[in-house]
A = this chain, B = another copy of it.
């Protein structure tokens, strides 16, 4: 159309016409006009092959991106990711082609397309350790949302500082007169749960108050509704130990226990360490706890990833502060 060579188009397209290689402004305009008219876009695949990058960021989730049930757990993260992608001028590629094996998506599989993108944001409660190790070994650019333990090397991540948040809650409880606390939950296996429990255990021992660990009453991990029929049992153990403040790993567990105690007319302080999976408070009680800065996590993950891709990584492991929620359920000990 313009009578120029492919090389010229490439140079114009990549805005290199001002540096070492120069193109006359008129020629450049002619090319740009033709591009605008035809809507031409460089093939990302060829681009990636030739240049090694294509301004596409992959988003890999271990569950569906657009979930049916647990209303938008990912949503806030994605808002942050999308915002940053837009300002960076990158497109987002949802790696939905990864097949589900044994109930979870696998990154590595025959025909995995991770390399189509310049880098990848990993989203999921728990990431497979072996896959992380392989990502590191293969030298692929990626960031995990949520802290991860080393996997044959340090894993780049942007996580929430659960340990600090829980610690702050414990401090508050102690300030309110509680000296007999309990952590209700598994404390694992994902790093996020472990961090919460560590925050509890460390703070309790450093403050010299009593802190016990209660496993949730419902052992089945797939069971919904948290504590389920076992609230009564948990309650018994809480009473027996003389606990006056409970830190519930799972929001639903905390809610159930709170309502149980309230029905019995016994005062019990509760802090929940996870956000409700479903929006809309069943009861309209605001639970004490903290808020995970999801949107910011998404945005910062993009920052880390960009830096990684461009070869000047700074602070590839970040923990963001959670916002404390005072709420109504963590109150002075009577």
Residues in A lying within 8 Å of B, measured CB to CB: 35-36, 39-41, 43-46, 48-49, 54-56, 64-68, 71-72, 75, 78-79, 81-83, 85-86, 88-100, 108, 110-116, 138, 280
Contacts and interface: CB of A to CB of B under 8 A. Distances in A.
Given A39-B115, A45-B49, 5 more contacts: A43-B115, A44-B56, A49-B49, A85-B97, A89-B99
A23 B91 CA distance: 37
Nearest to A46: B49
A69 to B, nearest CB: 10
Nearest to A134: B39
Contacts of A40: 115
Nearest to A56: B93
Contacts of A39: 108, 112, 114-115, 138
B110 A36 contact: yes
A225 to B, nearest CB: 21
16 contacts: A39-B108, A41-B111, A41-B113, A43-B115, A45-B48, A46-B49, A49-B49, A65-B78, A66-B78, A67-B79, A68-B79, A89-B97, A91-B97, A92-B93, A93-B94, A94-B94
A35 B112 CA distance: 10
Most buried by B among A64, A66, A85: A66
Contacts of A65: 78, 82
A75 B66 contact: yes
A188 to B, nearest CB: 29
Given A40-B115, A54-B45, A78-B66, A91 B85 contact: no
Contact of A82 (B44, B48, B96): B96
A75 B82 contact: no
B79 A44 contact: no
Contact of A94 (B64, B82, B99): B82
Contacts of A83: 64
Nearest to A115: B41
Given A39-B138, A44-B111, A66-B75, A116 B85 contact: no
Q: In this complex, which of A43, A65, A116 has the most chain B Cβ atoms within 10 angstroms of its Cβ?
A: A116
A36 B111 CA distance: 7
A112 to B, nearest CB: 6
Contacts of A99: 86, 89
A91 B82 contact: no
Contacts of A86: 64, 96-100
Given A93-B93, A94-B94, A97-B91, A116 B36 contact: no
Contacts of A36: 110
A91 B116 contact: yes
Contact of A66 (B44, B82, B112, B138): B82
Contacts of A48: 45, 116
Nearest to A98: B86
Given A39-B108, A48-B45, A97-B89, A71 B64 contact: no
